[in-house]
Amino acid sequence: MEEIRRKLQRLQKKIKQKGNERLTFMIIPHNEAHIFNLQLSKFTIVFAILIALTILVTSGFSVKLQQNIKQEAAELYSTENAFVTERQHYRVHYRKFNARHRQLRENLTALMIKAELIQESDLLFRNDNSLSTIANIQLERESEQFLQQLKNRETSAQEAGTTLAQIRERLLANDNKSVEKFSYGSDVVEFRELHLELKETIAAMKSFKRFISERENVQKSLPYSWPIGGGHFTSFYGPRISPFGYSRDFHTGIDLADEIGTPIYAAADGIVALSGYNGGYGISVKLQHRFGYMTLYAHMSSTYVYTGQSVKKGQMIGRVGTTGRSTGPHLHYEVRLYDRHIDPLPFLTSL
């Protein structure tokens, strides 16, 4: 161990002696008699060389870094231009969509007024100021929740907190806003307003759809349909001269004449209350409908339904015949409301 220490001391002494040796540099001008001598130690020369190499290497890295920064700046500029172009593209389409949506709201309002679901004085949709206020309130609430989440995460993890704080700084709408305040840009507010408008429109359309569906069910349940595959009037509802003599009687329906076998169809959705022979009506079908309506189809040659069966509007229930008290092939068709005879003609002429 002592031997190693002595060797190290000798090596250190030798290096020190060599380093302290001086080299003389002579500068001899052509026009001057005086000669300049410059004496430098080897340590000084080595140190100067190291400094020069460091400067050269650093300069090379600086030039390379500057080139990379210029390239990245160009890429960022190109990306920014792409984002600006894309944003403008989205805003153009947003305006077009918003205009079409406003037209849809106007048409929907007109339809609902025409259907008497609302009055002209009723406000089906909120105005722009109300929507803007609601949108800002919602976004402000969401921004507060967002900042609270950032604070909670910053408290739990210091490293994450630093990153999230930087993110929060970037998300600030204006430089003069405090980091404790967060606000969304105008685009976000506009899209939130559109979101609220769409929710209102969807709700109104669902309401109108329910009305149409119920109206359709009502129409299917009312006997507004031509009950025969052809036919022409031979006798109407009300007082008439009896076809079986010269006496007067009251005709409780209408007669539609056609060939035997002509299809007969249900005038509305309903339940078969009777299917079979029915005295002077001959082979008949009675259908019970909603809202107290009933229809009777008489003098048929055959039926295709049975008592208690559910039938749909337009479903074939039998064929024209001349059974019962009849003077020829025809359909005797009646409409009753709470078992009281009413004139079927308005139901056939308002199709």
pLDDT tens over the chain, length 351 residues: 777 777 777 766 666 666 666 666 666 676 655 666 666 666 777 777 888 888 888 888 888 888 888 888 888 888 888 888 887 888 888 888 888 888 888 888 888 888 778 887 777 787 778 888 888 888 888 877 877 777 776 666 555 445 545 555 555 544 444 445 556 677 778 888 888 888 888 888 888 888 888 888 888 889 998 999 888 999 999 998 887 777 888 999 999 999 999 999 999 999 999 999 999 999 999 999 999 999 999 999 999 999 999 999 999 999 999 999 998 999 999 999 999 999 999 998 875
Strands 270-277 and 263-265 turn out to be: unpaired
Q: Which of 317, 321, 315, 338 is nearest to 255 (CA)?
A: 321
Which amino acid is it at 163? T
Q: Alpha-carbon distance 257 to 14, whole Å?
A: 138
Record the pTM: 0.52
Q: Alpha-carbon distance 105 to 118, whole Å?
A: 14
- What string of DSSP letters covers 236-287? -SEEEE-TTSSSEEEE-SEEEE--TT-EEE-SSSEEEEEEEE-GGG-EEEEE
Q: Alpha-carbon distance 236 to 256, whole Å?
A: 9
In this predicted structure, what is the pLDDT of residue 268? 93
Q: Alpha-carbon distance 125 to 191, whole Å?
A: 17
Q: Tell me the CATH number for domain 232-349.
A: 2.70.70.10
Sorted by where each begins, the domain ranges of the chain are 20-118, 125-221, 232-349
Q: Alpha-carbon distance 41 to 34, whole Å?
A: 23
Helix 186-221 and helix 42-114, axial crossing angle in degrees, nearest 10 = 30
For 330, counting Cβ atoms within 10 Å of its Cβ (0-12 exposed, 13-18 middle, 19+ buried), the class is: buried
In this predicted structure, what is the pLDDT of residue 179? 44
149: tokens are 């989440």
Find residue 248's DSSP bridge partners.
241
138: tokens are 């919602």
